[in-house]
Every structure is written in structure tokens, then in C-alpha cells.
């Protein structure tokens, strides 16, 4: 029998040190959560622009503002990457007053104990999969690892209030900020306790002392959020996340 004729009958040989199961794992989409940087700014803005302009007519952050916050406080951002592609993100900055004012849209107050969440958005291809609530849960757990953070605040349109309430945010009242004809509700989340930590967290890209549980599979509390989202699709989410 020629070598060519024998080829169909040859079985592929596996390396003795690598099991078939471990080989298959490498074919699965790899998820990574890490702080954003200025090199991510264009990808961030493209997702944000597509998500918000069709709904609200404007973006929470313009491209120069995205770069501004990612330069000043990248540690208060979180990006969800799958196979190297940004699929969802949150950008925050520090604030030092009880309520949000117009300055909160553009300023970072390093001595503040409040994190102002400017934007949460999910790429259109990955929406309606529960990624928004999961990312918010991870972000809030991460904030618990930062000793200077006492609470998180955000402002949103009224129809998004139920979405953020599911993540534990409470209504503070009407926000003093208006954008054109849009008005907002201000919400807050008290940051208490300590987040669950994982070993070798530096591999994810966050400091060892300030990393939440970032490993897969999705944790039980995240799974509950995902199941809840799947059973309540009729309720709106920010940017259809």
C-alpha cells in the first residue's frame, strides 16, 4: 500500500501530555475582563455610538471624553473581551459630591469616594444575552476591592430604572442634569464588604489586591441574573444590552 493510500487510515496522534478534553477547551471562545486603555477608545466609541445615538440622539461620552477618562482613571473601567474582541464595557470616574452635577460629566475627582458610572454598553451582536447585568455585577464586585470607594452612582432615563434596580441600585431622585430635552433619574449603589478574590488574578489584567471573581464558568449569582433576563425580555435594558 502506498503512503498516500494509507493516509486515510492513520489516526492522529495526541501529545501524551495533553488530554483530548484540554485540546477541545482551546476551541471555545476565550473571555477576558480587564481595564480599558486609550488604545481601546475607538472600539469603545463605535459600540457606544451605535447603541445610543439611535435611541437618545447622543452619546454619554464622545470620543475625546472616552480617551480623557481612560487616561485619567483606567482602573475605573472594565472591558469584556471575547477572542480579543470588545463586546461590552463600563467606564467610570471618581466624584466627590452627594449628587451629580454638570461637572460630573467631564471631571474626575481623585479624592472622591463615589464612582460615577458614565456608560454601560454592549456590542449589538452580543445583546439580549444577559451580558449587561453580568458585567455590571462584576464591576460592582470589583469596586468592593477598592478601599476608597463607598458607593457607585449613575443617571439614566426613566425606562431604564427597573434594569438598574435589578443590579441593586436605589433611586435617589431626579437628576439636576439635563441633555437637550432628556431628563434623568439619579441612582446609587452602596459599596460594602469585600469581593470574592481568585488566585493568579494578575493574569486577567487587574492588580492582585483588587480583582473580583473573573474566572469561568459564570458564577451562580451571574447565572441567576442571566436566567432572569431570559425570562423577562420585554423589559428594556440600556442600549438593548
The Cα 221–Cα 173 span in angstroms is 28
Of 148, 149, 49, 145, the closest CA to residue 89 belongs to: 49
Q: Distances in Å between the alpha carbon of 228 and those of 76, 126, 131, 142, 231?
A: 27, 17, 12, 22, 5
b/e sequence 32-45, b meaning 16+ C-beta within 10 Å? ebbbbeeebbebbb
The label of the residue with cell 483588587 reads 210
Q: Which residues are catalytic?
A: 93, 107, 118, 120, 164
Amino acid at each position: 500500500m502506498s503512503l498516500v493510500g494509507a493516509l486515510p487510515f492513520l489516526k492522529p496522534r495526541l501529545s501524551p501530555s495533553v488530554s483530548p478534553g484540554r485540546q477541545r477547551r482551546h476551541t471555545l471562545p476565550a473571555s477576558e475582563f480587564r481595564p480599558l486603555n486609550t488604545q481601546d477608545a475607538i472600539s469603545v466609541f463605535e459600540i457606544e455610538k451605535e447603541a445610543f445615538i439611535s435611541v437618545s440622539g447622543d452619546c454619554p461620552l464622545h470620543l475625546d471624553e472616552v480617551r480623557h477618562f481612560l487616561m485619567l482613571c483606567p482602573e475605573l473601567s472594565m472591558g469584556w473581551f471575547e477572542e480579543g474582541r470588545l463586546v461590552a464595557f463600563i467606564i467610570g470616574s471618581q466624584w466627590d459630591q452627594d449628587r451629580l452635577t454638570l461637572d460630573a460629566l467631564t471631571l474626575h475627582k481623585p479624592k472622591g469616594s463615589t464612582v460615577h458610572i458614565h456608560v454601560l454598553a454592549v456590542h449589538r451582536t452580543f445583546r439580549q444575552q444577559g451580558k449587561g447585568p453580568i458585567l455590571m455585577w462584576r464591576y460592582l464586585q470589583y469596586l468592593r476591592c477598592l478601599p476608597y470607594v463607598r458607593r457607585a452612582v449613575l443617571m439614566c432615563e426613566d425606562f431604564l430604572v427597573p434594569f438598574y434596580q435589578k443590579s441593586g441600585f436605589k433611586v435617589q431622585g431626579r437628576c439636576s442634569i439635563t441633555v437637550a430635552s432628556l431628563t434623568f433619574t439619579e441612582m446609587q449603589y452602596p459599596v460594602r464588604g469585600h469581593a470574592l478574590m481568585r488566585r493568579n488574578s494578575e493574569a486577567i489584567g487587574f492588580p492582585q489586591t483588587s480583582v473580583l471573581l473573573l474566572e469561568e464558568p459564570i458564577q451562580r449569582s451571574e447565572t441567576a441574573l442571566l436566567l432572569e433576563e431570559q425570562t423577562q425580555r420585554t423589559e428594556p435594558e440600556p442600549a438593548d444590552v
